[in-house]
């Protein structure tokens, strides 16, 4: 997996700088709208809070949740609701993920990862595959995470892979980094390993 770059000990503002540069380049290269997929969870939102203060043509950005809990958007567990609160005031459009969605290619897919190796809401029990015929799926993690015991709607692996570039943010977790590095070495077949094995684009991981 020569296309993967692992970067250690990077603060949130520096990751926001990196994202600003990547988004700026994608927006400069295309006169129309640009689609990006972003994660939920506790790690990325502080980075997003810094990112939205940057001077970008936000009105041309379509922000897709990589996944969401199947709850109303005003529910505290809704990724989409939190994304709207952050990105819509600066002019970006936030997409509501549904199983009928036509998913575009992404300029950038930003992912988190769980200690069980899940990406988006592609948990180990869901047997995600790079040749999935669907772009979006509704599914049930098993076991249900106690902090968010809800069904999920998620981009599938082909949708995540239909991107110019992929970036992971692991939030400095030693356990997550160990799972990620084991995936790079081919030591397990968890969802993150399947994604990395199928990825042909550049992948950056802020560990």
pLDDT tens digits, one per residue of 50-89: 999 999 999 999 999 999 999 999 999 999 999 999 999 9
**Contact predicate 127/103, CB 8 Å:** no
The answer to whether the pTM exceeds 0.85 is yes
Return d(Cα 67, Cα 97) in angstroms, integer: 7
DSSP-derived 3-state class of residue 65: strand
Please tell me what DSSP assigns to residue 44.
Answer: H
Q: Which residues of the chain have pLDDT under 50?
A: none
Choices 3.40.50.300, 3.40.50.1360, 1.20.1250.20, 2.60.40.1180: CATH for 4-206: 3.40.50.1360
68 CB-near residues (< 8 Å, 6+ apart): 40, 78, 79, 80, 97, 121, 152, 153, 154
In the chain, domain spans: 4-206
**Cα 123 to the center of its chain, rounded Å:** 14
Please tell me what DSSP assigns to residue 98.
Answer: -
* CA proximity to 86, closest of 144, 40, 147, 127: 40
> Which residue carries 């989409």 as its tokens?
80
pLDDT for the residue numbered 150: 94
**Contact predicate 166/199, CB 8 Å:** yes
174 CB-near residues (< 8 Å, 6+ apart): none
Return d(Cα 75, Cα 61) in angstroms, integer: 24
The CA radius of gyration of the chain, in Å to the nearest whole number, is 16
The H or E element spanning position 109 is strand 108-111
**Contact predicate 121/97, CB 8 Å:** no
pLDDT for the residue numbered 203: 97
pLDDT for the residue numbered 57: 96
pLDDT for the residue numbered 145: 85
Return d(Cα 69, Cα 79) in angstroms, integer: 7
Return d(Cα 91, Cα 62) in angstroms, integer: 10
pLDDT tens digits, one per residue of 24-43: 999 999 889 999 999 988 88
């Amino acid at each position: 997996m020569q296309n993967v770059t692992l970067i250690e000990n990077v603060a949130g503002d520096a990751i926001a700088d990196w994202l600003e540069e990547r988004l700026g380049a994608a927006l400069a290269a295309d006169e129309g709208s640009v689609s990006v997929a972003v994660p939920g969870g506790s790690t990325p939102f502080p980075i997003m809070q810094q990112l939205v203060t940057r001077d970008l043509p936000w009105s041309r950005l379509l922000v897709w949740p990589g996944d969401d809990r199947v709850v109303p958007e005003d529910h505290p567990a809704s990724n989409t609701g939190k994304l709207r609160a952050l990105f819509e005031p600066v002019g970006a459009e936030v997409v509501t993920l549904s199983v009928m969605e036509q998913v575009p290619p992404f300029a950038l897919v930003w992912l988190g990862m769980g200690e069980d190796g899940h990406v988006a809401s592609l948990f180990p029990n869901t047997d995600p595959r790079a040749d999935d015929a669907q772009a979006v799926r509704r599914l049930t993690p098993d076991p249900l995470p106690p902090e968010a015991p809800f069904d999920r709607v998620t981009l599938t692996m082909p949708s995540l892979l239909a991107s110019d570039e992929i970036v992971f943010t692991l939030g400095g977790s030693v356990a997550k980094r160990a799972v990620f590095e084991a995936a790079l070495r081919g030591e397990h077949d968890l969802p993150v390993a399947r994604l990395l094995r199928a990825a042909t684009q550049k992948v950056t991981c802020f560990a």
